Amino acid sequence: MTTVIIGGGQAGVQVADSLRAGGYGEEITMVTDEAPWPYQRPPLSKELMNTAGAIKPLPLRPEMFFCDNDINLVRGTAATGIDRRRQTVRLADGQQLPYSQLVMATGARVRPLGIAGADLPGVFGLRTLEDAKRLESAIRPGAKVVIVGAGFIGLECASGLRALGCDIIILESGSRAMKRTSSPVMSEWFAEAHRSTGIDLKFEERIARIDTTPGGQQLVALSTLGNRYEADVVVCGNGVMANDTLGAKAGLDVDDGILVDSSLRTSDPKIVAVGDCARFPSVHAGTRARLESVQNATAQGRHAASTILGGTDAYRAVPWFWSVQGKNKLQIAGIVGANDRRITVGQPDEGKFSVMNFQRNILTSVESVNQPAVHMAARRALEHAILVTYDQAVEPGFSLVTATKAQQASAA
Ligand SMILES: Cc1cc2nc3c(=O)[nH]c(=O)nc-3n(C[C@H](O)[C@H](O)[C@H](O)COP(=O)(O)OP(=O)(O)OC[C@H]3O[C@@H](n4cnc5c(N)ncnc54)[C@H](O)[C@@H]3O)c2cc1C
């Protein structure tokens, strides 16, 4: 009996940890194509950008963890094939690893820009420690930076590089910032916050091509509106794609992510998939979803381990996410719907407020800016099915923190 885990990121490491914590006594082998010891990605676009020249990985677990828990970690080697009939994984170095249980935790990769010039030196994605180091070495105060995409990575990167004294232009093809994940109120508030620091945010403008100036000293980003932006560096914050090709090649069901059931099993019962690479039936989204967050990767990692250990529960964890953009921390609990009814509570002018989102009359998600207590209350409300209605929330003086505490106390 051996569990092989492909991918040594947040989700893969959590599966290994939870298997051991749950008493799994068989072999565990984890394969990662990255050379460094497993590390956390969120700091790559946050604190580390603010400490130029000092990017150091924050480990997901201390190195001792792998030895202490008898986890055989193979670093710097990709899994290149899965033979489901023989139950083996082939590695790039020629090794064949037999498995009785396989975990796909392959994460995601930066979506290619798909335009001419995308492979010029000076054009960077930001997914790995190596990416962050390469980007960092190309940055100096006063550098002109074009960022493609006003999603979380683009905006976090923009504020970090702005703090380092760079000139920033963001080209966003959509009509607002963080459109996929946030309400219009939140998009507008963050766009203004970034503009107030001197970041130039352009919406409904798509990058069309990247050239160089005649001497080749600088990049020139050309947009679909015909504008030319000179840049020392172009950062691709245009989203990621699931690493699902290995799964697809092995014949697993795939649709922008490896499809799993509510126990996180793929179409092959010997294989589970977790984290950024998995598309799962989400009770909170009301449809199949693929989420890209630390919470999703760790909660699914725990759940997949319990499935391997014989559990049959459905995965139902409340999704939550955070983003740090300059001095502002955004925390989202639940999934923000495009057609939700919304109430803004608190003081947007002072940078302390929340947007409560409702489907019909029921609270389904809360976005909080610099209000950790409200975020925690939102998670409590959604996790414990504490009923919070739109009608309640519009009452003068309504506080989510007080309301959730009161309901929990009365239920105890
Ligand atoms: C810059 C940045 C900032 C972020 N900030 C936040 C944040 O503030 N809050 C938040 O909640 N989330 C944030 N995220 C998202 C979060 O880090 C991811 O959702 C999480 O890391 C997903 O974990 P994972 O294990 O599914 O995938 P990953 O962490 O991507 O790990 C997958 C691993 O598998 C490896 N792999 C892939 N294919 C193979 C193969 N064939 N063989 C061997 N290895 C393979 C990959 O190289 C990678 O090491 C951020 C992500 C980035 C990149």
What pLDDT digit, counting tens, does each position of 332-362 carry? 999 999 999 999 999 999 999 999 999 989 9
- Closest residue CA from atom 26 of ligand 1: 275
Q: Of 53-62, 75-84, 120-129, 308-317, where does mean pLDDT reach its minimum?
A: 53-62
Here the tokens at position 202 are 């352009």
152 closest CA partner among 302, 289, 321: 321
- Mean pLDDT to the nearest integer, 259-265: 98
pLDDT higher than 90, residue 232: yes
Q: Of 129-143, 246-260, 267-281, where does mean pLDDT reach its minimum?
A: 129-143
pLDDT on residue 302: 98
Phi, psi of 85 (to 5 degrees): -70, -45
Ligand 1 binding residues, C-beta < 6 A: 6-12, 31-34, 41-42, 44-45, 78-79, 105-108, 126-127, 153, 243, 246, 275-277, 292-295, 297, 321-323
What ranges make up the beta strands (E) of 174-232?
200-203, 207-212, 219-223, 228-231
Ligand 1 atom closest to Cα of residue 10: 25
pTM for the structure as a whole: 0.96
Give the confidence band of 217 by pLDDT, cuts at 50, 70, 90. confident
pLDDT higher than 90, residue 70: yes
Phi, psi of 382 (to 5 degrees): -75, -35
CA 72, distance to chain mean position in Å, is 26
Ligand 1 atom closest to Cα of residue 301: 25
8 Å CB contact between 153 and 110: no
**How far away, in angstroms, is 81 Cα from ligand 1 center?**
20
pLDDT on residue 50: 59
- Closest residue CA from atom 17 of ligand 1: 41
pLDDT higher than 80, residue 229: yes
- Closest residue CA from atom 15 of ligand 1: 293
d(CA 201, CA 10) in angstroms, rounded, equals 32
pLDDT higher than 90, residue 292: yes
pLDDT higher than 60, residue 135: yes
pLDDT higher than 90, residue 182: yes
Ramachandran area for residue 20 (φ above 0: left; ψ -120 to 50: alpha; else beta): alpha
d(CA 216, CA 219) in angstroms, rounded, equals 7
304 closest CA partner among 315, 293, 295: 315
Q: Which of 5, 10, 240 to mutate to test the pocket of ligand 1 (most atoms within 8 A of CB)?
A: 10
- Mean pLDDT to the nearest integer, 160-176: 95
Mean confidence (pLDDT) of the chain: 95
Q: Of 107-116, 136-145, 222-231, where does mean pLDDT reach its minimum?
A: 136-145
